Amino acid sequence: MQDDQNKSQDEQGSLAQDAEQAVAPAQAAVYVPGRVGIVCLGLMGGSFARALHAGGHEVYAWNRTHTTLELAMIDTVNGELTDEVIPSCELVVLAGYPQMSVDWLTQKQDLISPGAIVIDTVGVKRKICEDCFPIAAQHDWFFVGCHPMAGTQYSGYAHSRANMYHNAPMVMVPPEGMDDIDRLDLLDRVERLLEPCGFGHFTVTTADHHDEVIAFTSQLAHVVSNAYVKSPSCQVHKGFSAGSYKDLTRVARLNAPMWTELFLDDADNLSFEIGNLIEHLQEYKDAIDDRDADRLQQLLADGDRRKREVEGR
């Protein structure tokens, strides 16, 4: 009888303890220092994975096509970025298309640990920052908009490489409203975590300024290259083309779905740059149609002068 009473008391104590644990708040997840999660293993995400793995980081990844993830797990990725793994990552890299990156963060926001950092690789910053900063503001982790200024005309994990970002610029857009010291500490953490990538330098800017400049330096170049190869003469260029043709057509080959999304997310700035270019091209066409040598020479000399000014020589 005494044993039954003792057993009953023990069970009641155990139940009480379980009840206390049930109503107690769950302990906040803690990330593993240096562990990285990569969302999408395309050209950019794959290159981040390779570089960070080579630098000694544990790298976990998610990819829509599981066969690509299986390929990466052979020599680069430690495992799949599951819901159970996400809380253990100090750094999460969103390397998909703009809307897909926002959707993933929206769905997984509650799994990211306090103090962790989320960055992206998207080529436009207003869209991604307008959506992701408010998400991060609801939590104790951080979002920093990032744009690694590197790439090739090819896409996909098969073309990724560990040295893709060596000496390349990285543009960063930190959250607004942070204390200056806290913002510097956050950006310093990002730089230290990305050290194995070998970026040449980091530039801090706003989302608005980034999108204004990138419309000219990147997006316009892709539009011009893509339009240039639509000349009928392109079909017969072999034997008649050299460096100039190769330089101007390199990025004509592109990922159409991705660039469509990027162009439309920066439509106002890109449309302005295209309009400005059309105006200048019309000036050249008019001078050539009029056989106006003086005007044509002035236009050419002006372009040469501006290029030298930009290069500082």
Q: What is the CATH number of the domain that holds 275?
A: 1.10.3660.10
Average pLDDT across the chain, whole number:
90
Any idea of the CA torsion for 91, 107, 61, 124, to the nearest 10 degrees?
-70
Residue in the block written with tokens 């057993």: 7
Q: What is the CATH number of the domain that holds 120?
A: 3.40.50.720
Residue in the block written with tokens 């769905």: 107
Of 205, 232, 251, which closes a domain?
Answer: 205
Same domain, 137 and 249: no
C-alpha distances out from residue 144 to 56, 139, 140, 228, Å: 23, 14, 13, 36
CB 1 within 8 A of CB 61: no
DSSP count for the chain of H helices, then E strands: 12, 8
CB 61 within 8 A of CB 49: yes
Same domain, 49 and 191: yes
Of 205, 237, 257, which closes a domain?
Answer: 205
Q: How many domains does the chain have?
A: 2
**Domain that residue 186 falls in:** 32-205
Phi then psi for 96, rounded to 5 degrees?
A: -100, -170
Q: Write out pLDDT tens, residues 59-111.
A: 999 999 999 999 999 999 999 999 999 999 999 999 999 999 999 999 999 99
* Per-residue confidence (pLDDT) for residue 130, from 0 to 100: 97
The one-letter amino acid code at 220 reads L
91 beta partners: 36, 117
Same domain, 63 and 195: yes
Bigger pLDDT: 293 or 239? Answer: 293
CB 33 within 8 A of CB 117: no
99-127 mean pLDDT: 97
Query: Can you read off the two tokens belonging to residue 179?
Result: 């204390």
pLDDT band, residue 155 (cuts 50/70/90): confident
Q: Say yes or no to pLDDT of 22 above 50.
A: no
Of 181, 205, 229, which closes a domain?
Answer: 205
Percent of the chain scored above 90 by pLDDT? 78
Same domain, 44 and 135: yes
The pTM is what?
0.84
SS3 content of the chain, % helix, strand, coil (to 5): 60, 15, 30
pLDDT band, residue 4 (cuts 50/70/90): very low
